[in-house]
Every structure is written in structure tokens, then in C-alpha cells.
Amino acid sequence: MLPCAALATILLPPPPGAAPADACLGVGMEVAGRFEWTRPAAALPERFVLPRANLELGLARGPVGARLVSNAVRAGGETGYIGIDGESIVQRLQIAEARLWVAPIGLGLAAGLVDDPWVIPGNNAWDLRAQAPGLAEAEGWLEPSDLGATAAWTAPRGWVSGSLSLTSGEGYRRRERNGGQDLAGSLTLRPLVGIDAPDALSLQLYARDGSQGLRFARDHRLGGRATTALGKGRGGVELLRTWGVGGDAALTPWGMSAFGQVEPTPRALGFARVDRIDTLPAADNDDVLRGLIGAGFAPVPAAGGAPAPARLSASLSHTRRDPAARALSGSAALAAETGVWVQLDLRLREALPLSAPLPFP
């Protein structure tokens, strides 16, 4: 019998023949509070930030279930002063999906507001989304979810997983703006499953054919990712190429990211990441280089393979922009930016067994 899978992504269904879990309710919460300093001094050189405030709910009964994920957002945006009741922090839906597991053949089906097959596996591999979003999400090249449907399959013993998604292409923050839909496919290989090391090497390929905006601007993606998790360390490298960004078909940036972390003790964590973005592949002096390094301490150690439930961390980030990649070309003040922050974050997931279902209404 599988453990409660009410909060698990449909992108990685169990292998064929796995018995469905008992009826269960899954509840998860991830909250992070941060105080950061930024130099050179911007409009807000010191500030408090809420980088993460997610609430997860999942209900599963045998092969069927539903999942909701909401996260916090500033109603007025980061640069605006018109929102809901001032510029309140409000909860918005990121995931709202109905799901079905077809256990005998290792198939999962979901419809509604569903996970993106590139962003979500990347978040799971990096595992520190509260410190910084993954490259594609940070640059606005992909959204973590979208309206649509997903079918995913895992081969016997878990050697291969694949998914196919048909979505609106506008992301979870915007409604459909044209009559075309995006088709995205992902294939994940685990070549070391046969030697009882399923997480030692994972290779993912991703492709998307789509459009965005009122004018059907092309919005295509092609990516590759390799990740590993061995002993006390984990890491990975990824590359993503774009054709069209934000409704502008002429933009074709690409980027790569390398990341790693190590837990020398159950309470200590060290992590680092480097991103490189080529904003205008046909031009020179247009690169953006971003580095992040940090260390954390867990007041309560991790148990049972789960992440530590709480962590206090300190991080240093540095971003360097070539002249053609700056908001104001040639501005020396925008050539480099350094940020330092301290952060306390909490991650908890729990499962509750359920008894008989209630009637409607």
C-alpha cells in the first residue's frame, strides 16, 4: 500500500501495479520570512520580504482525488500602489486539479489548474524554492502552473516517466487570450534504478510548442536537465532555450543553471547556485550572471527522509549585467547588485487517514 499521495504531483505517477493508498487528507504549509539588504542602494535597500507562503490541501480516496495549492502575492504588485484593500498580501490559487490514478498501467490523469512539467521537477531538484525560484520561473519564461490537462506515465520499476500536457499557454495568472493551446511533453530517465539507486542520476528532456497573447506570438521552449542525489549531497545542471517571451516573438533568450547542496549533519545545510542568461543571442555584451551561496541551520532535524521542518539561513547573492542587458544601457549603478538576507522558513506536510465519505449536500 502506498503512503498518502494526496499532495504528490501527478507528473510522477507510481510504477504499474502499485496499490492505491487508503483514503487520506494531506495538508502542507510552507512559509518563509526574510530580511534583506541590497547594494547599491535602491529605492528599498533594506526591507522585509515574504518569499513563500503556500498552503496545500489534497484529498484522495483510492485512485481518485483532488488537490489545491494557494500562495501569497502582493495585491498591488512590487511597483504599483493600487491593489485590493491597499496593497494587501492575498492568497491566490496555483493548483486546482481533479486527478485519477490508473494503477495497473502506471498512468496518472489531471485536469484543471495543473503543474508545469518543467518548473515543478526543477523546484523539486533545487529544493530551495523559498531562497530563489528556478531559472525559468525567475526569468518569467515559464509559469509553475496553467489551465489545462496532463497525462503522465511511469514504466515498470520506474526507469522512465513521461508526461504530456495541453494548456492555455498563458500561465496561472492570466486567462486564455487566443484560441490556441500549448502542447508540452517531458521525458525523465533514471538509468541507475537497476542498481537500487533511483535518485543517483535523473535525466529530463522537455519541449513545448505554444503561443501567447492576443496575436498568437510564438512561445516555444526546449530544455534538458540532469540531477543527482547521493548520500548527503544533491545537485544538478539545466539548460533552457526559448523562442518568444511574454507575447514578444522576437525575444529568444536562453539560460543555464547549476546548483548543489550538502547536509554534513542532520541540522546543517550548505547550498550554492549559478545562473547564466543570454538575453539577446544575436548580440554581444548582453549576458546576466547570477550567483547565490548560503548556509542554514535546522532547529529540529529532519526525520524519515523528509526535509527539515524549519530552517534558519543566511544567504549572499550577486548579479552582474553586461551593458546591453541593463534596464538603462550603460548605467554603472545597474552593472552589479549584491543582496544579503537572513531567512526563517517552515515546511510541513502531514497526512490524516479518513473514514467513510459524507453525503451531498
In this predicted structure, the answer to whether residue 176 has a pLDDT above a threshold of 70 is yes
In this predicted structure, the answer to whether residue 2 has a pLDDT above a threshold of 70 is no
Establish if 13 belongs to a structural domain. Answer: no
pLDDT at 41: 62
Residue 317: CB partners within 8 Å, gap ≥ 6? 132, 290, 291, 292, 293, 338, 339, 340, 341
User: pLDDT tens digits for 202-211?
Assistant: 999 999 999 9
Residue 286: CB partners within 8 Å, gap ≥ 6? 278, 279, 280, 322, 324, 325
pLDDT at 357: 85
Of 46, 18, 50, 14, residue with least CA distance to 33: 50
CATH code for position 106:
2.40.160.10
234-258 b/e with 16+ CB inside 10 Å = b? bbbbbbbbbbbbebebebbbbbbbe
> Between these two residues, 95 and 103, which has the higher pLDDT value?
95
Residue 116 DSSP label: -
Q: How many domains is the chain built from?
A: 1
Domain that holds residue 287: 24-76+87-352
Establish if 4 belongs to a structural domain. Answer: no
Establish if 5 belongs to a structural domain. Answer: no
In this predicted structure, the answer to whether residue 82 has a pLDDT above a threshold of 60 is yes
Of 219, 126, 220, 205, residue with least CA distance to 163: 205
Indicate the pairing of strand 217-218 with strand 182-189: unpaired
What is the Cα–Cα distance from 241 to 130, expressed in whole angstroms? Answer: 24
The mean pLDDT value for 182-190 works out to 96
Establish if 332 belongs to a structural domain. Answer: yes
User: pLDDT tens digits for 252-307?
Assistant: 999 999 999 999 988 999 999 999 999 999 888 889 999 999 999 999 887 776 77
pLDDT at 139: 94
Establish if 15 belongs to a structural domain. Answer: no
> Cα torsion for 85, 91, 97, 103, to the nearest 10°?
-170
Mean pLDDT of the chain: 91
Establish if 264 belongs to a structural domain. Answer: yes
Establish if 109 belongs to a structural domain. Answer: yes
Establish if 129 belongs to a structural domain. Answer: yes
**The model's pTM:** 0.92
